[in-house]
């Protein structure tokens, strides 16, 4: 963090006192901090305190004097390596999401060329309100990174999600960003995600319970670290946020096979996270199968093409293929066998035996195995955190 230039935006929240701890932490690590605060923020912490800690005059108004001088939000936006808004109130988040530039902080945000981190702080009902959630999602869609609030005691005396993340954790987030910033720049990555649906007739299909959450988390993690990502996804209800993610929607295993193999020659890394159906119905009925007098219905299934094995055969020496293995027993043995048989460079093992892991969950518990035989077993973490760990190992492997 030494030598990095940070704009710290502070808004009118009781959590503004935490800004003093953020500034001290950043300064101790060698960063420069320029504070930009809203007028309401001055009611919670004084500009004198913040200027003393940051060793720079605090900026709050467009015009600091009545002699024609003014503060340039454009210059600030070009100066910074990163902008952090902490705390970010519901009002400021709404203004940022909708381009309402009525104060120095929001105009600086709109002019900022650097990555932006937002740490919301508000009462639980305000944070959970659909309008706030929509604004947060909109900020994500612009490429901003949201530092989720935690659950805890709030100023309203209620307990719930809305408490700004602690300064130490926010500093860690930015440190990790600076360490990993652009370590995948110029890399082209394919990621497959979600389930595939294999049609039986116009209204029925064979599928699985995959939500796509792990694949989408990997796509966001890769894009945030500079990669151009092609996300090939089966039918899921998730949205992509980062502008460097190109989403390709498919339905069947055959469609996913075609999209993946066509993109692979121009790709540096392929991460095959999708839960692709191994089999499909031999015949797809053109009209709905009626339930008549028969007590049973027999389906004849044929094997789908193996995407991982195909890419493993086709890959060049400068390409990496990562597979996933969802097992119910003998996980390490089965994953190693799959790694070798399909000529993969790394495989991510997760088990349905682990509580909180696998399909539908927001968390996952995985074991990462690479072609050198190195094994890393992670505890239960959020899929976002698991994605970061996988990419960290992938970067080492690529180098």
DSSP 166: P
Using CA atoms, how far apart are residues 9 and 84, in angstroms rounded to an integer? 6
Using CA atoms, how far apart are residues 183 and 217, in angstroms rounded to an integer? 17
The set of residues, in sequence order, having a beta carbon less than 8 Å from that of 55 and lying 6+ positions away, is 27
Using CA atoms, how far apart are residues 186 and 318, in angstroms rounded to an integer? 14
- 158 exposed, middle or buried (CB, 10 Å; 0-12, 13-18, 19+)? exposed
Beta strands in 142-294, from DSSP E residues, in sequence order? 145-146, 150-153, 159-163, 188-193, 198-201, 204-206, 228-233, 245-249, 269-272, 279-281
What share of residues in the chain are helix, strand, coil (percent, to 5)? 35, 25, 40
Catalytic residues: 208
Nearest to 243 by CA among 135, 149, 116: 116
Q: How many CB atoms lie within 10 A of CB 41?
A: 27
The vertex-1 CA angle with 81 and 177, nearest 5°, equals: 65
With contact defined as beta carbons under 8 Å apart, do 41 and 76 qualify?
no
Nearest to 271 by CA among 142, 143, 141, 386: 386
DSSP 178: H
* Phi, psi of 370, deg, nearest 5: -110, 175
SS3 111: helix
DSSP 197: -
Nearest to 186 by CA among 241, 226, 128, 245: 226
Q: Which helix (H) or strand (E) holds 348?
A: strand 346-351
With contact defined as beta carbons under 8 Å apart, do 307 and 260 qualify?
yes
């Amino acid at each position: 963090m030494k030598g990095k230039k940070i704009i710290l935006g502070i808004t009118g929240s009781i959590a503004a006192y935490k800004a003093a701890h953020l500034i001290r932490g950043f300064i101790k690590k060698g960063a420069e901090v320029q504070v930009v605060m809203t007028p309401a923020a001055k009611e919670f912490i004084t500009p004198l305190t913040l200027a003393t800690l940051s060793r720079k005059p605090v900026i709050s108004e467009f015009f600091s004097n009545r002699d024609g001088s003014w503060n340039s939000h454009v210059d600030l936006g070009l100066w910074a390596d990163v902008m952090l808004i902490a705390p970010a109130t519901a009002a400021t988040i709404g203004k940022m999401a909708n381009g309402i530039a009525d104060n120095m902080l929001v105009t600086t945000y709109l002019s900022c060329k650097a990555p932006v981190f937002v740490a919301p702080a508000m009462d639980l009902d305000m944070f959970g309100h659909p309008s706030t959630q929509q604004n947060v999602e909109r900020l994500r869609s612009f490429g901003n990174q949201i530092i989720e609030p935690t659950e805890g005691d709030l100023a309203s005396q209620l307990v719930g999600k809305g408490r700004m993340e602690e300064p130490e954790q926010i500093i860690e987030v930015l440190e990790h960003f600076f360490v990993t910033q652009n370590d995948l720049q110029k890399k082209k990555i394919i990621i497959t995600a979600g389930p595939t649906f294999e049609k039986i007739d116009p209204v029925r299909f064979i599928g699985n319970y995959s939500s796509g959450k792990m694949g989408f988390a990997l796509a966001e993690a890769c894009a945030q670290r500079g990669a151009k990502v092609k996300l090939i996804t089966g039918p899921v209800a998730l949205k992509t946020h980062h502008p460097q993610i190109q989403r390709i929607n498919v339905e069947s295993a055959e469609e996913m096979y075609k999209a993946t193999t066509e993109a692979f020659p121009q790709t540096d890394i392929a991460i095959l996270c999708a839960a692709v159906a191994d089999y499909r119905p031999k015949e797809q009925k053109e009209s709905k199968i009626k339930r008549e007098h028969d007590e049973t219905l027999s389906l004849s299934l044929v094997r789908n093409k193996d995407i991982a094995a195909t890419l493993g055969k086709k890959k060049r020496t400068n390409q990496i293929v990562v597979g996933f293995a969802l097992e119910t027993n003998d996980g390490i043995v089965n994953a190693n066998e799959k790694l070798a048989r399909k000529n993969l460079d790394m495989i991510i093992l997760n088990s349905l035996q682990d509580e909180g892991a696998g399909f539908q969950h927001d968390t996952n518990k995985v074991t990462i195995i690479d072609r050198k035989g190195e094994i890393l077993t992670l505890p239960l973490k959020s899929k976002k955190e698991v994605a970061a760990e996988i990419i960290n190992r992938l970067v080492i492997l690529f180098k």
